[in-house]
Amino acid sequence: MDWLSVIPPFVYIALVAFGVVLVTVAYLILLERKVASWTQDRIGPNRVGPWGLLQPLADGLKMFFKEDYRPGGTDKVLFTTAPAAMMLVVIVAMAVIPWGGVHRVETQISVAAGQDVLAAAIASIPMNADLVGEPRVVEAGTYGIMYEYAFQIADLSIGLLFLVAVLSLAVYGVVVGGWASNNKYSFIGGLRATAQMISYEIPLGLCLLTIVVMTGTLDLGQIVEKQAHYWGGVIPAWNVFAQPLAFLMFLTCIHAEANRSPFDLAEAEQELVGGYHTEYTSMRLGLLLLSEYAEMIVTSSVCVALFFGGWHLPGLLGPDAQHPAVTSSWVVVLLRCAVYFIKVLVVIFVFMWVRWSMPRFRFDQLMMLAWRSFIPLSLVVLLATAIALYFAVAQDESFRSLRRIDGYTALLLFGVNIGLLLGAMVLSRVLPPPPLTNRRIGIPGSRFSHTPVPAAGEVEAVVQTKREFLVGVSNQL
């Protein structure tokens, strides 16, 4: 086990997570095709291997052996950079996902006489680990030490901020790729992605803020740890139960963030040929497609960490009730990783389920959804959460000191969320209708326009009213 103590844990966590995620990405494409088939009463790929399980291999081989074609007039550097940048950004974002809580290790070191014990202990533990407690004497020259490290690649205290910053860079792949292609369809796809990203980052950030207000930290590992207890001894304290409306908006926003249907306007194949990747072939196209799925994994992981308690399942809590994330058992750590991953897969299944159920939004509908409903609603949810948390103080001292949400506060927040949902439903009936866009406008004299044909003397008057109507409509726009 010498090499394990030499290599810091984040290195092998990174290697394993990277491998698992990349293989999963390939299999997600198969899962997507399977889900599509099931909703359409088909069976899906079943020719390559049992149940089509070798299909990703065949697809990958195909991608590698296709001609790597670059059309004339493209920006050579950007054309290649775009897919790489997109994949890179998504992989970097993977670093802060808290897979397995905190692992505590007990070990013994031998210290020569006259040496500083504390310094020797710190020197002996892995790079990103923290020493816990004082080294205690086992026998002469041998000390027992404890150290713990977060079972994730990078334990950032501003993990959430880092994620938001990095994930919004992913749109650069789409925009740059669309621009470098020298193709109007690709370009329109890139433009759409930009506008969509700008619009949906706002409610996404506000939903994240709601959770930050609740938990009081930006550290994803701590956000998960604060959900690792039970309300009333039964209901797991996952944020989704306290903030259903914020969860709904967050889920919709990550659909838009990951460019997934019904928000996949950047690659609307019915209108834009292939969207931003029209001109891409071979492994460059492969990277673009894979990074789309990798982004799904990352956004789903964030969703699981924020709303579904991350690795939390009954039986996986550590011995210390104050810090349930800390465990010294390898089995528990690995089980937590598995639980986290299964939860992520469930969220990804929802992504796919939505894709094959919903028609794509029109672009003005997409913008209307963000600016007219999500931004106001998420602002109100944030405000209401802040007010509710100000007034609802946990009765239990341990809850207060750990800044955990107790059952009553959760119930209050749940009520506030449902109340806001119903209020929004009522308000949407009362508010004036959206502006007239894309409505059919009657053109006098046209045989396709169902306007009454005016009598001989009235033509001028009808034309005048129509003109006024058109001017009115354009003013309204």
Partner 1 sequence: MKDTEIIELQEPRLSVADQFYVPQMLVGMGTTLKHMFMTLTGKDRVIQYPEEKREDIPVVEGGMNLRTYRGVHRLNKDEGGRVKCVACFMCSTACPAHCIHIEAGESPWADREKYPIQFDIDELRCIYCGMCEEACPVDAIELTHEYDIVGLTRQEMIFDKEKLLKMYDQTVEKEPM
Identity of residue 54? L
Identity of residue 28? L
Q: Which of these ranges, 115-123, 141-149, 296-304, 446-454, lies near partner 1 under the rule CB under 8 A?
A: 446-454
Asked if residue 35 binds partner 1 (CB under 8 A), the reply is yes
Residue whose C-alpha is closest to residue 312's, from 304, 322, 300, 301: 304
Q: Return phi, psi of residue 158, to 5°.
A: -115, 40
Q: Which of these ranges, 41-49, 91-99, 199-207, 286-294, lies near partner 1 under the rule CB under 8 A?
A: 41-49
Q: Which one, 23 or 436, has the nearer CB to partner 1?
A: 436
Asked if residue 459 binds partner 1 (CB under 8 A), the reply is no
108: which strand partners?
144
How far, in Å, CA of 29 to CA of 294, rounded? 11
Q: Return phi, psi of residue 282, to 5°.
A: 55, -145
Q: How many other C-beta atoms are found inside a 10 Å radius of the C-beta of residue 7?
A: 13
Q: How many other C-beta atoms are found inside a 10 Å radius of the C-beta of residue 93?
A: 24
Asked if residue 42 binds partner 1 (CB under 8 A), the reply is yes
Sequential DSSP letters for 40-92:
TT-----SSSGGGTTHHHHHHHHHHHS-----TT--HHHHHHHHHHHHHHHHH
Residue whose C-alpha is closest to residue 287's, from 71, 24, 88, 93: 88
Is residue 318 within 8 A of residue 228, CB to CB? The reply is no
Among residues 428, 437, 465, 474, which is the contact residue for partner 1, using CB under 8 A? 428
Among residues 2, 41, 67, 139, which is the contact residue for partner 1, using CB under 8 A? 41
State the pairing for strand pair 235-236/130-139: unpaired
Among residues 63, 109, 354, 383, which is the contact residue for partner 1, using CB under 8 A? 354
| Contact map string, positions 212 to 251, toward partner 1, x by CB under 8 A | ------------------------------------x---
CB of 241 to partner 1, least distance (A): 18
Among residues 18, 38, 363, 408, which is the contact residue for partner 1, using CB under 8 A? 38
| Contact map string, positions 373 to 412, toward partner 1, x by CB under 8 A | ----------------------------------------
Q: Which of these ranges, 5-13, 104-112, 294-302, 356-364, lies near partner 1 under the rule CB under 8 A?
A: 356-364
Asked if residue 53 binds partner 1 (CB under 8 A), the reply is no
Contacts with partner 1, residue ranges (CB under 8 A): 35, 37-43, 248, 353-354, 356-358, 424-425, 428-429, 450, 452-453
